[in-house]
């Protein structure tokens, strides 16, 4: 399967995401922010970084990049899309996901190995995990606090759309300890921590993040 990795000016985890995709058994396809087509990919990853320097708001300028016109249309048509950290912010700014990401409640950048609980295994990005699986992957953000109004939070909970939740400590003040969410259809996932940094034993916190990149292969094989 071909998985596109979008690079915006300021993106810095695109190479890591591409490597994780290859380790997950896929072909990584580079997509540039100025592209007007998705090159026939089967899924898209919006990686972490500081797109357009995080000016205005994180992800607010990226939302208007030419490639995002194609991503939004394809996602609305069912294409699997994963937004990691800055990519999560871009998905919220693009209204593909509800809520928003704001400055960490302690007003400092945080970088740590973070424990999570996987709460939704029905998405193309999480089907390799068992429900309730506890994993440890890297977290690094300055504006990672997930916020939404109470009605939206209740809706996400009721519909099982919280994909992952922080364990042990809430590192950024995210409401209800939410680390990741999915859209109503389940094909679009936003995750604040970085699974692409936990795909090899040699580096990082182990291989707990690899499931985000093998899930799509397993789900595609079952179709």
Q: Which residues are catalytic, by number?
A: 85, 194, 196
Global confidence as pTM: 0.95
Token pair in block for residue 215: 């899930």
Average pLDDT over residues 61-84: 97
> Across all residues in the chain, what is the average pLDDT?
95
Phi and psi torsions of 54, nearest 5°: 60, 25
100-114 pLDDT per residue, tens: 999 999 999 999 999
- In degrees to the nearest 10, what's the CA dihedral of 75, 137, 28, 63? 40
- In degrees to the nearest 10, what's the CA dihedral of 26, 27, 31, 36? -90
pLDDT at 217 (0 to 100): 59
Better pLDDT: 221 or 107: 107
Walk across the sheet containing 43-46 and list its strands.
Answer: 27-32, 2-7, 43-46, 81-84, 188-191, 178-182, 162-166, 110-118, 134-141
CA–CA gap between residue 1 and residue 190 (Å, rounded): 21
* DSSP 8-state code for residue 176: G
CA–CA gap between residue 55 and residue 7 (Å, rounded): 17
Burial-class residue 95 by CB neighbours within 10 Å (0-12, 13-18, 19+).
Answer: exposed
Nearest C-alpha neighbor of 83 from the set 190, 205, 11, 218: 190
159-208 pLDDT per residue, tens: 999 999 999 999 999 999 999 999 999 999 999 999 999 999 988 789 99
Phi and psi torsions of 188, nearest 5°: -110, 125
In which band, very low, low, confident or very high, does the pLDDT at 222 lie, cut at 50, 70 and 90? Answer: very low
Query: Tokens 């997950």 map to which residue?
Result: 24
Query: Tokens 């990672």 map to which residue?
Result: 144
Average pLDDT over residues 48-74: 95
- Given a cut of 80, is residue 219 above it in pLDDT? no
pLDDT at 148 (0 to 100): 98
CA–CA gap between residue 189 and residue 191 (Å, rounded): 7
Better pLDDT: 223 or 14: 14
In which band, very low, low, confident or very high, does the pLDDT at 223 lie, cut at 50, 70 and 90? Answer: very low
């Amino acid at each position: 399967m071909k998985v596109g990795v979008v690079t915006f000016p300021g993106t810095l985890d695109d190479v890591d995401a591409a490597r994780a995709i290859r380790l997950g058994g896929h072909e990584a396809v580079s997509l540039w922010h100025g592209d007007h087509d998705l090159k026939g990919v089967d899924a898209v990853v919006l990686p972490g970084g500081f797109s357009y320097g995080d000016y205005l708001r994180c992800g607010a300028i990226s939302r208007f990049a030419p490639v995002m016109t194609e991503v939004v249309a394809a996602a609305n048509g069912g294409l699997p899309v994963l937004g990691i950290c800055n990519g999560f912010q871009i998905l919220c700014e693009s209204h593909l996901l509800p809520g928003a990401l704001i400055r960490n409640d302690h007003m400092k950048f945080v970088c740590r190995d973070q424990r999570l609980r996987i709460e939704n295994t029905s998405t193309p990005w999480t089907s390799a995990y068992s429900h309730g699986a506890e994993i440890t992957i890297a977290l690094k953000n300055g504006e990672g606090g997930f916020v939404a109004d109470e009605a939206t939070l209740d809706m996400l909970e009721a519909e099982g759309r919280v994909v992952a939740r922080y364990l042990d400590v809430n590192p950024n003040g995210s409401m209800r300890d939410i680390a990741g969410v999915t859209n109503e259809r389940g094909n679009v996932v936003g995750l604040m921590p970085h699974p692409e940094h936990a795909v090899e034993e040699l580096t990082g916190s182990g291989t707990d993040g690899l499931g985000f990149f093998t899930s799509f292969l397993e789900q595609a094989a079952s179709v």
